[in-house]
Amino acid sequence: MALESVVDKFTEANKLLGEKDHKKMQKAWFYEDQGPPEVLKLGYLPIPSPKEDQILVHVRAAALNPIDSKLREKPIVSTTFPVVPGCDMAGIVVAKGNKISRFCIGDEVYGNIQDFNTDGNLKQLGVLAEFIVVEENLVARKPENLSFEEAASLPLALQTAVEGFEVARFKKGQKAFVVGGAGGVGSLVVQLAKQLYGASLVTATTSTPKVEFVKGLGADKVVDYTKTKYEEVEEKYDLVYDTIGDSKNSYVVAKDDMPIIDITWPPSNPRAMHSNLTVSGEVLEKLRPYLESGQLKAVIDPKGPFHFWDVISAFRHLETGRARGKIVISPFPSHSLIFFH
């Protein structure tokens, strides 16, 4: 559906709601059946109420991840419709449960609201809505130097990137080879390898137009995969960190018996290591000094941010597999009730 048609239909629906209803309902993107981006609809859903261990967040920016597309395309987990997609957000706390101690109303927070280690019980209300509820332990305070858009781009990718290094038990001074250095996770893996984990050599793969970009992230060497095959890479590495699911081929650059991390599931190489993602605000808090100092930088795809009205186009771009960094949704609609009491 064209962007103009989405806006026109929503404007008409908006006129049918009175002021009283506006204060109970929120704008949201949702789907009621699995399929391509076109199954997404823009409409109204109730504003949720936080449980005792949850905060209610007024979303200011969100980011898309490949898992958002996979969950929409086919029933990977048990699903109750309608589903609002999205994991990553940044916004403002507008209400909280009575057991909340870390955050106050008005705090700016960010995080991945979906804990994938809860036996598939994902939240029905994802982040592509004006308001979302999330458990206190899943979010962190937004670094002051980051915009809402920059903060929203980080959580899931940053948690994924850190997890790989921890599973591999990467040590300072070792050499890392990153497959897909320009992507949402890969761009952070390159930076973390240099800034946090002290790699002595970081090599990353990318396509010709993105070579200089990946060098700018801190890669010591960049392999243009359109010109060079893995077998032609002379150096051997202590870690192969594959962010695109090509470990069945990329393993050849690893030293004997050294770890291969493949963040896709299932890994394309039985030798590759995969781990359950630790979704926690604590991970984000630990990296705050690196974000505030500029040692770690958020990378937003240059085609964005995509407006809230243009979510379908954002998903289409995500599903080309050619994004540079993260695809961000912003601005979000404003609402007549900003702070709840």
Kindly report, residue by residue over 125-139, the tens digit of the pLDDT.
999 999 999 999 999
CA proximity to 144, closest of 101, 191, 109, 104 = 109
In this structure, the answer to whether residues 149 and 242 fall within a common structural domain is no
**How far apart, in whole angstroms, are the C-alpha atoms of residue 193 and residue 55?**
33
CA distance 112 to 274: 20
Total domains in the chain come to 2
Look at residue 160 and tell me whether its pLDDT is greater than 90: yes
Per-residue confidence (pLDDT) for residue 143, from 0 to 100: 97
pLDDT digits 0-9 by tens, 185-234: 999 999 999 999 999 999 999 999 999 999 999 999 999 999 999 999 99
pLDDT score of 6: 47
185 and 245 housed in the same domain: yes
Q: Which stretch of DSSP H or E encloses residue 193?
A: helix 186-195
pLDDT average, residue stretch 104-111: 98
Q: Higher model confidence: residue 120 or residue 177?
A: 177
Q: 223 and 196 in one domain?
A: yes
Judge if 36 and 131 occupy the same domain. Answer: yes
Separation CA 9–CA 264 (nearest Å): 38
pLDDT recorded at residue 7:
45
Report yes or no on 117 lying in a domain. Answer: yes
**Average per-residue pLDDT in the chain?**
91
Is residue 179 domain-resident? yes
CA–CA separation, 224 and 218 (whole Å): 16
Q: Is 290 exposed, middle or buried (0-12, 13-18, 19+ CB in 10 A)?
A: middle
Tokens of 209: 């137009």
- Chain-centroid distance, C-alpha 26: 23
Residue 183 has pLDDT above 90, yes or no: yes
In a domain, 293, yes or no: no
Q: Which residue has the higher pLDDT, 324 or 15?
A: 324
If asked whether residues 102 and 237 sit together in one domain, one would say: no
Q: pTM of the predicted model, to two decimals?
A: 0.90
Domain that holds residue 241: 157-262
Does the pLDDT value for residue 89 go beyond 80? Answer: yes
- CATH for 196: 3.40.50.720
Q: What is the pLDDT of residues 245-260, one digit of tens each?
A: 999 999 999 999 999 9
More confident residue, 265 or 280: 280
| Residue 77 included in any domain | yes
**CB 270: neighbour CB atoms within 10 A?**
8
